[in-house]
A = this chain, B = another copy of it.
């Protein structure tokens, strides 16, 4: 039965009490869609409130999309679809949807969002702060409910600055794939240290003793991979030859990496295997080796990292660490959705495991 009680003594405004009471009854189904609620006069009799007060409450519910007034007929409850809860949209900021793992990540996030009847707005940052910032402002204006963010290649404080903007608006953020040192926030990553360690161990077990490595130092992911590589070597009492460690501070540029690949391959007599920081470098190395007439894996073995979707169909047959990128996207979405639903708890740091995919680019060396 209809039942509205107003506590005149409460500090809660009476129009607000009425409003809350009505919403409750609508959501609990006392008033169903298309039902007519009591007229203003009736509510006046029931509650003793002034009509203006009642109107204020009802007007708010009309603005919120719960009710609809029809002159001479009364006030009616709107359908669920139209009422209240608007669509939830999650912003996804990735470096570049065309390449690397971004498509896979976006796909995982998108599928998971779709399953929960939400959508993603996709933004390319090109790993640049300015572009990311542009999208950040825009996403906030658009009113997204949450953000999945792959930090850009900019300095940490720049990335922090972007995250801060969301925090100020109470929009939850999940970091995907890359971390920002010292920042305690929800994240979904893979264990790059452990992955690189396992991969290097694998190479060592195959008999390789001189292992070159080439990677960028821009991201937490690759820095961890370098650390894993170093640990595996020192653990096996092998020297880390600084000549064989080629790092780059700059962002990924096809041309730079070709140069790096060439300079490393020039020393190919000094080593039996190369650990490429990620598959794209691996393929550049493979192409360069082909050009320099160095046979893989005959003369030198090659291992990658990522196992990108097309790695599988690439004729090099690259042995690489498979990263569960799709799952990163999924889990990031799940995490952000649980935050949007209001879950309060300490930041959750999900770390997924990678696994080795053996193809044909690594040879076994007989001692």
Contacts and interface: CB of A to CB of B under 8 A. Distances in A.
Interface string A280-316: 1001101100100000000000000000011001111
Contacts of A96: 107
B119 A142 contact: yes
Interface in A67-118: 81-82, 87, 89, 96-99, 102-104, 106-107, 110-111, 114, 117
Interface stretch (A132-140, A155-163, A342-350): A132-140
A17 interface: no
Interface stretch (A121-129, A179-187, A240-248): A121-129
Given A97-B103, A107-B124, A119-B139, A315 B316 contact: yes
A249 to B, nearest CB: 23
A141 B284 CA distance: 45
A357 interface: no
Contact of A107 (B97, B107, B280): B97
B138 A119 contact: yes
A211 B104 CA distance: 36
A120 interface: yes
Nearest to A290: B315
A63 interface: yes
Contact of A315 (B63, B135, B287, B310): B287
- The size class of the interface chain A forms with chain B is 35 or more
Number of copies: 2
A123 B313 CA distance: 25
A152 to B, nearest CB: 15
Nearest to A286: B315
A103 B110 contact: no
B309 A99 contact: yes
Task: Tell which of A107, A111, A142, A254 has the most Cβ of chain B within 10 Å.
Answer: A107
Given A141-B81, A141-B87, A121 B120 contact: yes
Contacts of A82: 141
Interface of A: 52, 63, 81-82, 87, 89, 96-99, 102-104, 106-107, 110-111, 114, 117, 119-124, 131, 134-135, 138-139, 141-143, 254, 280, 283-284, 286-287, 290, 309-310, 313-316
Would you list the 3 A-B pairs with minimal beta carbon distance, nearest first?
A87-B142, A122-B122, A98-B103
15 contacts: A89-B142, A97-B103, A97-B106, A98-B107, A99-B103, A110-B122, A114-B123, A114-B134, A119-B123, A119-B138, A254-B313, A283-B313, A287-B313, A314-B314, A314-B315
